[in-house]
Each structure stands twice: as structure tokens, then as C-alpha cells.
Amino acid sequence: MQLIASPLSPFVRKVRVLLLETGLADQVTVVNLATTPLETDPNAASANPLGKIPALVREGGATLYDSRVITRYLDDLAGGGLYPQARLWEVLTLEATAEGIMEAALAMTYEARFRPEEMQYAPWVEAQWAKAARALDAVKARWMSHLAGPLDMSHIAMGCALGYLDFRHEARGWRAGRPALETWYAGFSARESMALTAPEAA
């Protein structure tokens, strides 16, 4: 299998962390591309008509795309138990919350990197941050006990979301007023799978 990827994408990082946690890393070749919303790499477009990454190219099967589809497939393949049936809806909801944080943060990044300065719209950027901040407050208020439980996919997704905030939006200071989440992330980010997949500035 091939994972069409970028080392800076938090959505790709989710998949890479899962591969390490489930022991599947040696079964998937990571193919890193330089693709943007304005210039889609042909290989990304070939794997996913939307041009988005990640995409998982399988031998003898349809290529899978959308990180949540890929992680469900790989977890099932490995028997990893990262989507436990007993708390499946909680796992999926918290994973979706983390993905929403990533999407808002990525939209902020794109606004700064791909729009000319005179076309950037500060109120829109602040609205994206407001989404992320509300999600973080919801995690603080309702999800800390879940994060304290056994490892599941929502933990990986949230760890990657917080890591992306540090990587691209550190000045926003997401830790302020959220000490329990800060403590959880400090421990989770020390996992080998997280350390091995940490993005480097480009």
C-alpha cells in the first residue's frame, strides 16, 4: 500500500501515528508530495479527485481517501481496537471535533500563505480561530475523562490537532486557561509515534 501524503499535514500525521501504533508502518510506503490548494500535484489528483491528502492506494482495491476513512480501514486491518465498539460514538465525535480544529487551523494557514496580503480578510481568520477555540473549550469541559482513558483514535486525532496548533499558530496560545488539556498533551506528545511524526518547519 502507498500513502499519498505531505509531512506537514495534520490529517496525514493522524494516519502515520496510527500506522506506528498498530505495527502497520512497514506495510505502507509513504509518498510525500508538495501539493497546495492552488497547484494540485498530479499524483494527489490521481489518487483523490478532490486533490486532497491523505489517500491510501491499495493493491487490488479502490484507493481510499479522507483521513477518517483511512484510519477506520487500517485499524480494522490491524485489529488495533482504536475504534472500540463500547464507546464508538464518543470516539467518532471527539475525532470529528479534532478534525474540525485541524480544518479551522488549516484554513487560517491557507489564508496567510496563499492569498495576497491585500486580499486577506482578518474577520474571517478570527472566525476560524473562534471555531477552534470553542472546540478546545468543549474538550476542556466535556472530554478530559475520555482522554484519560485507554488509547483510541480520538486521542491520536486530538494530539495531532494540538500539535498543528503549536506548529502553525503557536502565538494564539491555545494552552491559556486549559491546564488539564495542556498536561494531557504534554504526556501524549511524548509518545514515540508522536515524536517520530512531528512536523518540521518548511
pLDDT of 74 reads 98
- Tell whether 90 is covered by a domain: yes
Show which of 78, 100, 132 is a domain's final residue.
78
Show which of 78, 107, 137 is a domain's final residue.
78
- Tell whether 172 is covered by a domain: yes
How far is Cα 84 from Cα 200, in angstroms, rounded to an integer? 32
Query: Which residue would you say has higher pLDDT here, 35 or 88?
Result: 88
Model confidence, pTM: 0.94
Q: Quick one: the chain helix, strand, coil %, rounded to 5?
A: 65, 5, 30
26: containing domain: 2-78
User: In this structure, are strands 2-5 and 29-32 parallel, antiparallel, or unpaired?
Assistant: parallel
Q: What are phi and psi of 36, to 5 degrees?
A: -135, 170
Residues 74, 98, single domain; the answer is no
Number of domains in the chain: 2
Specify the 3-state DSSP secondary structure of 32: strand
Residues 128, 66, single domain; the answer is no
Residues 58, 107, single domain; the answer is no
Domain with residue 124: its CATH number is: 1.20.1050.10
pLDDT, tens digit, 9 for 90 and up, residues 136-181: 999 999 999 999 999 999 999 999 999 999 999 999 999 999 999 9
Q: Are 15 and 66 in contact (CB under 8 A)?
A: no
The grid cell for 169 is: 499558530
Show which of 78, 93, 125 is a domain's final residue.
78
- Tell whether 200 is covered by a domain: no
32 CB-near residues (< 8 Å, 6+ apart): 5, 6, 7
Report which secondary-structure segment, H or E, holds 64: strand 64-65
